[in-house]
């Protein structure tokens, strides 16, 4: 399975520079654990941007678990304003409205790759309710960049995570975006979070 993930990541180019191939490998390897252990529930991605990670998740699901539901969530108007928890001199380039990609552009990314788009939810994470999220979640990738976005997505995801499920949080160990780690540590103790290539990986007890 590990060899398959490496081959899959090597076979396709990245469509943005917001995530590295090493990080995508980590995300996909964690996802294969959920699939291999037959953890029930949907796959969710909060913060999908142009769809780089989404494409690889879809490719993996097509091969290993094509019937599993896959939902993505994004404002599609760029980053929200920062909160005090996001203050960092290293992250001054991350401002409200940055990284704006339309829902149409996201869909076109999948069309160009000849892949079925996931179920798309447009809106700020703090405006979403429980009805916007699957009742059961097996795997969650959270890429909200800022404290409030990670906090709000965790509020939606954590109560629906299934035993044995996995949460992966982007920018967990990134100096420019300290709010991500602060939000995660409000939910989980640091000794339960494994850090790989700036990603925070949390395995829920089975």
d(CA 24, CA 19): 7
Strand, helix or coil for residue 156: helix
pLDDT at 197 > cutoff 90: yes
CATH code for position 187: 3.40.50.150
Query: Residues 35, 55: contact at Cβ < 8 Å?
Result: no
Reported as a single tens digit per residue, the pLDDT across 145-163 is 889 999 999 999 999 999 9
Q: What are phi and psi of 157, to 5 degrees?
A: -85, -50
Q: What is the DSSP letter of 152?
A: H
State the pLDDT at residue 8.
Answer: 95
pLDDT level of residue 88 (50, 70, 90 thresholds):
confident
Q: State the pLDDT confidence band at 183, using cuts at 50, 70 and 90.
A: very high
Quick one: DSSP state of residue 205? P
Angle at 145 between CA 140 and CA 132, to 5 degrees: 45
pTM of the model: 0.93
Confidence tier at 97 by pLDDT (50, 70, 90): low
- Take residue 53 and report the two structure tokens written for it: 């990670």
The encoded tokens of residue 182 equal 């602060």
Six token digits for residue 50: 């142009």
| Tokens found for residue 165 | 């499920």
Dihedral (C-alpha) 196, 48, 149, 135: value to the nearest 10 degrees? -100
Q: What is the mean pLDDT of the chain?
A: 92
Q: What burial class does residue 12 get, using C-beta atoms within 10 Å of its C-beta: 0-12 exposed, 13-18 middle, 19+ buried?
A: middle
Domain extent at residue 65 = 2-15+22-203
Per-residue model confidence (pLDDT) at position 100: 73
Tally the domains of the chain: 1
């Amino acid at each position: 399975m590990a060899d398959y993930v490496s081959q899959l990541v090597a076979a396709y180019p990245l469509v943005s520079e917001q995530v590295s191939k090493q990080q995508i490998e980590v995300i996909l390897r964690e996802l294969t654990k959920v699939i291999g252990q037959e953890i029930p529930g949907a796959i969710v991605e909060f913060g999908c941007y142009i769809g780089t990670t989404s494409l690889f998740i879809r490719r993996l699901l097509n091969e290993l678990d094509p019937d599993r539901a896959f939902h993505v969530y994004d404002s599609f108007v760029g980053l929200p304003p920062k909160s005090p928890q996001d203050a960092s001199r290293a992250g001054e380039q991350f401002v409200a409205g940055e990284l704006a990609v339309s829902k149409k552009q996201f869909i076109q990314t999948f069309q160009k790759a000849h892949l079925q788009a996931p179920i798309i939810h447009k809106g700020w994470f703090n405006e979403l309710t429980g009805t916007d999220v699957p009742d059961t979640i097996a795997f969650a990738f959270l890429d909200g960049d800022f404290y409030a976005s990670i906090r709000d997505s965790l509020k939606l995801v954590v109560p629906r995570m299934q035993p044995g499920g996995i949460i992966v949080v982007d920018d967990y160990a990134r100096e420019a975006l300290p709010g991500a780690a602060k939000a995660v540590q409000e939910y989980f103790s640091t000794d339960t979070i494994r850090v790989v290539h700036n990603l925070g990986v949390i395995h829920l007890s089975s």
